[in-house]
Amino acid sequence: MIKQSYLFSFAVMLVIMLANLSVPSHAASLGDGNQIPHIGDAGRADYLKFTSAPLPRAFAIAPGGVWAWVSGGDTKELTELDALNSCRQYTEQTCQLYAVDDQVVFDETQWTSSWRLHLDGNAVANAPVGIGRAQRFPDLALTSPNNRPIMLSDLRGKPVFLHFWGSWCPPCQTEFADLQKLYNAIKNDDAISFVLVQGRESIEKSQRWMEKRKFVMPLYDSGHKGRGDKSFRLANGTLLADRRLALAYPTTYILDANGLVVFHQSGAGEQWAQYENLIRHLTDSGIQ
């Protein structure tokens, strides 16, 4: 009886181990587009079309809500490659497959790790100044929420969620509730900086708009006083046209601990709360 019990237990353990190996890290049914991270209503509607498209088919996604899919390729492998290449046309982020044929293949661990830049110390030290991925974001001169002068570079050592907005901007207003959800999720984490910068209006106007709607997030003053202000001041005293940084209002950047751009979103984003884990993943990258 002891031998039989041992063999039975071993067999059960083996079955469990094999089952765990075969289950993707993001368990979801093929038809459930609500499980796809970052994509909005348009992406989910397109995904529904994908699920009924001819085989072979592949659906690829990237952080920031980019998606692309291909159907009816010569082979499954070529279809996967075509979907990834189509996705890469629209983003600097790493694209990965979400679904292939009738199976969800999304790997959440890969999704999170692909967010980081994976640069060595030399590459970090010599990163050019700019707004593209892996470039060093310009060093803005701001005033902190406690009314002290601060440079963006003072926040190095921790990832920064940097958001340019204005209360005069309808898309900014629309996404603010979602930004509040993200801030609520990370506000008690001292390893992350959350920076809202107003454009083309005074900080007082921004504060009044937020207070009236009961939004509570940290506002950093750009120094703008009204719609005629169209430049941001840098730490070295020079001015930079606001459209060089905020290509549209709103515009969002996520910087790593070294001040390098990891992510860039021009225009309103969707489902900001889903970025929490990606941002937290940057907290252990360290400064170089």
Asked if the bond preceding 218 is cis, omega within 30° of 0, the reply is: no
CA–CA dist 132, 259 (Å, integer): 12
Q: Which residues constitute the domain of residue 169? A: 121-284
pLDDT mean across residues, the chain:
89
**Could you tell me if 262 and 232 lie in one domain?**
yes
Among 20-34, 46-60, 218-232, the minimum mean pLDDT is found in: 20-34
pLDDT in tens, 194-229: 999 999 999 999 999 999 999 999 999 999 999 999
CATH number at residue 154: 3.40.30.10
Among 169-173, 217-221, 235-239, 275-279, the minimum mean pLDDT is found in: 275-279
Position 263: which residue type? F
Helix, strand, coil percent values for the chain (each to nearest 5)? 35, 20, 40
**Could you tell me if 101 and 130 lie in one domain?**
no
pLDDT in tens, 136-148: 999 999 999 999 9
**Could you tell me if 60 and 188 lie in one domain?**
no
**Could you tell me if 52 and 130 lie in one domain?**
no
**Could you tell me if 203 and 125 lie in one domain?**
yes
Q: Which residues contact 12 (CB under 8 A, 6 or more apart)?
A: none
Burial class of residue 147 in the structure, from the number of CB atoms within 10 Å of its CB (0-12 exposed, 13-18 middle, 19+ buried): exposed
User: Is residue 75 a part of any domain in this protein?
Assistant: yes
**Could you tell me if 146 and 188 lie in one domain?**
yes
Position 203: which residue type? I
What pTM was computed for the model? 0.81
